[in-house]
Amino acid sequence: MKDARLVLKQESSKSTKIHIGGSTIGGNELFIVGGPCSIESLEQMEQVAIALSHGPVQAIRGGAFKPRTSPYSFQGMGIEGLQILSDINRRFNVPTITEVMTESQIPDIVQHADVLQIGSRNMQNFDLLKAVGSAGKPVILKRGLAATLEEFILAAEYIMAHGNPNVILCERGIRSFDTFTRNVLDLGAVVALKQLTHLPVLVDPSHAAGKSELIADLSKAAVACGADGLMIECHPEPEKSVSDARQALSLEQMIDLIENLRLIALAVGRNIPSPKETRALSQLTIGQNEFANQFHVAELIA
């Protein structure tokens, strides 16, 4: 009997395309997400948006509610962080992504962010999966720390079965015996998920590698094996990052990494959207001076 699960590819040609802001994930263009592990201040997020929002990335990430291993570590800015995301979205016209940890956070998060992220630690929080099923916004579902592909696929099925067709799978590395890298990036899973499901697949090399010097080459490998995009942690001052500092790229490294992916993308029939000053020009609603200033700074950084 045919397996009728919603997540599975029933026809070989089917692939789900999800529209986020002016971009699409799951089509020919790669969807690249950049931003810090945690939102730390408005200034920090402005610096990220100035460097990246005019084209290098299609969305900006930043955690406001952080799942930290230790209860004594920084837990995120909470609602104040969400307000910063809204502000960045409004002024820079860039979609934003942030993690949701509990059902009770959903109303605030959908008001302030464009995409909800379910983190690894919550991949099998079934009540949360059901709740984001009716949140009305796309969901990035990260693979659990030690989840099999079957468990990952069934977690996505929860979200779809509860009414949300816009699910993006994210491979972010799994636990293994070797601690040299923080986790092991499972590129075999990326290939398998693209064959088995019709959903877009993102790769997060940052949490997989845990070391900034490994991120560029892992990103190339991810694009070469068919990932629909990347989610990479970067920070204006990586060494000062309040969480995941060891894996954070600088904004300059992030821009270089994306430029260096172009040829690999082309080799596998994909492309990286070009910087879109023209589109941004017509869509930005912020004041002229602020806009001019933003592009002046962006040019200096580039």
Query: By C-beta, is 183 or 294 nearer to ligand PEP?
Result: 183
Task: Provide the binding-site residues for Mn ion, judged by CB under 5 A.
Answer: 37, 244
Min CB(21)–ligand PEP separation in Å: 19
CA dist., res. 254 & res. 48, Å (int): 10
Q: Which is nearer to ligand PEP, 52 or 284 (CB)?
A: 52
Q: Which residue is nearest to ligand PEP (CB)?
A: 119
Least Å distance between CB 69 and ligand PEP? 10
Binding ligand PEP (rule: CB under 6 A), the pick from 18, 25, 33, 37 is: 37
The answer to whether the beta carbons of residues 3 and 41 sit under 8 Å apart is no
Residue 123 or 272 having the CB closest to ligand PEP: 123
Chain-centre distance of CA 94, in angstroms? 13
Nearer to ligand PEP, 65 or 92 (CB): 65
Query: Residues 14, 67, 163, 176: which binds ligand PEP (CB under 6 A)?
Result: 67
Spatial contact of 66 and 76, defined as CB atoms under 8 Å apart: yes
Contact stretch for ligand PEP (CB under 6 A) within 7-15, 115-123, 215-223, 268-276: 115-123
User: Looking at beta carbons only, is 12 or 69 nearer to ligand PEP?
Assistant: 69
Contact set for ligand PEP, span 236-275 (CB under 6 A): none
Q: Is residue 207 close enough to count as binding ligand PEP by CB under 6 A?
A: yes
Number of shown-chain residues binding ligand PEP (CB under 6 A)? 9
Q: Is 119 in the site for ligand PEP (CB under 6 A)?
A: yes
Residue 54 binds to ligand PEP (criterion: CB under 6 A): no
Nearer to Mn ion among residue 169 and residue 280 (C-beta): 169
Closer CB to ligand PEP, 91 or 207, in the complex: 207
CA-to-CA separations, 209 to 136, 237, 238, 241, in angstroms, rounded: 32, 19, 15, 17
Q: Which phi and psi angles does 231 have, rounded to 5°?
A: -125, 120
- The binding track of 144-173 with respect to ligand PEP, each residue x by CB under 6 A or -, is ----------------------------x-
Question: Cβ closer to ligand PEP: 153 or 248?
Answer: 248
Contacting residue, 98, 120, 241, 294, with ligand PEP by CB under 6 A: 120
Q: Which of the choices Mn ion, ligand PEP, none does residue 210 contact, using the CB cut-off of 5 to 8 A by kind?
A: none
CB 116 to ligand PEP: min, Å: 12
The DSSP code sequence of the chain is -----TTB-SSTT----EEETTEEESSSB-EEEEE-SB---HHHHHHHHHHHTTTT-SEEE-BSS---SSTTS----THHHHHHHHHHHHHH---EEEE--SGGGHHHHHHH-SEEEE-GGGTT-HHHHHHHHTSSS-EEEEPPTT--HHHHHHHHHHHHHTT---EEEEE--B--S--SSSSB--HHHHHHHHHHBSS-EEE-HHHHH-SGGGHHHHHHHHHHTT-SEEEEEEESSGGG-SSSGGGPEEHHHHHHHHHHHHHHHHHTT-B-PPP-HHHHHHH--S-HHHHHHHHHHHHHH-
Residues that bind ligand PEP (CB under 6 A): 37, 63, 67, 119-121, 142, 172, 207
